[in-house]
Amino acid sequence: MARAAIRRRLTGPLPWRVAHLVGRRAETATANTLSLRLDDWPGHLPGQHVDLRLTAEDGYSVQRSYSIASAPEDSMLELTVQLLAEGEVSPFLVRDYALGDPIELRGPVGGWFAWEPDDERPVLLIGGGSGVVPLMAMVRTRRALGRTTPFTLLYSVRTPEDVYYRDELERGDDVGVAILYTRRAPPGSRRPPQRLSPNDLPPLTERHPVTYICGPTGFVEAAAGMLVDLGYDPDQIRTERFGPTGA
Amino acid sequence: MPTPPPATIHPDGHTDGNALAGPLGELFAVDLTAAATSCVGCGRRSHLAELHLYSSGPGLIARCPGCHDPVLRLVRTPERLILDLRGTVSLSVFLPSPGE
């Protein structure tokens, strides 16, 4: 399916398509996963994103990028959207967008922050807050394809109530998952709540991993800087930042 | 329904060039965000996805992560799309392998 996505892109510019909402589930009190149905979806690589476009009756239009959370093998295209109180788009998507309603979407796009399942190098994933979404697509794809590529996921979140996909992450397969709390940790946690620090990062081993970091700009730049200080090759670090305009 | 965006965001509120994939997809048939570029200002090689992207103005401005010179600007008007590549010496794009 992923190959099909690349082939399609050679046939012309990127079209806007119409998707319909067919399911919604809460990940946290302020984040929802939206399941979308599209006819003729060309498939995607985990890590890619889509652009959504909303248009008002007066013609005012606004668009935002959202990472794909689902694996290409899943039956529906899933996006996880964090509600931002000051946002223009996320309050509509989380609160008002109703089952069965259409929305304009284009994609999948982005060939840089994407994992190729045939790449056998170990993978280190570092997510801050909703930056875990494209990393989850990678974890899901690895599982769907039955790959044994070594995967480690470091997931930085404020509190236990802010964790997305908890049941899936705690399922206990061979993906090494560490949830790092920054404001409040569950009772009995050995690690005190604090921001990501070099002590949280795995030391380099002989097999240098390819690293994907996604989160708010400050988080991504801090994490990438720590890795480089630890000796990681900057050319093996791929980053995706989101900021206030991602609302 | 959506309301106009707030006039200001954080003054240094950049994201990165990954978000150019959709807008550039309106013009180009291959993904340019994985293309490598050399900055006119400082010579640094980056992938387009690694540029710092500023989107609070009327268009998109992608700046070199090294010297912050503007590398690429993309502006949409009702009639046209304007791409200004003033800050790149060259773009190097991987082509899909034959048969794909």
Mean pLDDT by 10 residues, chain B (100 residues): 40 86 91 94 95 91 95 92 92 73
Find which of A6, A88, A109 to mutate to test the B interface (most B CBs within 10 Å of its CB).
A109
Domain that holds residue A200: 123-241
Number of CB atoms found within 10 A of residue B40's CB: 16
pLDDT at A19: 97
Query: A86 to chain B: which residues are within 8 Å by CB?
Result: 6
Do A89 and A19 lie in one domain? The reply is yes
Q: What is the mean pLDDT of residues A200-227?
A: 96
Locate the domains of chain B by residue range.
15-89
A24 strand-pairing partners: A34
Q: List the CATH number of the domain containing A216.
A: 3.40.50.80
pLDDT score for A16: 92
Q: Does B95 touch chain A (CB under 8 A)?
A: no
Task: Name the DSSP letter for residue A145.
Answer: H
> Looking at the partner chain, which of A13, A92, A217 has a beta carbon nearest the beta carbon of B26?
A13
The reported pLDDT for the residue numbered B10 is 43
Q: Can you point out the beta strands (E) in chain B?
A: 15-16, 36-39, 45-47, 52-54, 60-63, 70-76, 81-84, 88-92
ipTM exceeding 0.90? no
The one-character DSSP state at A160 is: G
Give this prediction's pTM.
0.91
Asked if residue A196 and residue A87 are part of one domain, the reply reads no
CA separation (Å) from A120 to A43, A115, A137? 21, 10, 17
Q: Which residues does A207 contact at the CB level (< 8 Å), separation at least 6?
A: A121, A122, A150
The answer to whether residues A33 and A93 touch, using CB atoms and an 8 Å cutoff, is no
The answer on A103 and A203 residing in a single domain is: no
For chain A, the domain total comes to 2
pLDDT tens string A141-176: 999 999 999 999 999 999 999 999 999 999 878 999
Do A74 and A128 fall into the same domain? no
If asked whether residues A105 and A200 sit together in one domain, one would say no
| A127 shares a domain with A83 | no
A100 and A140 both lie in a single domain: no
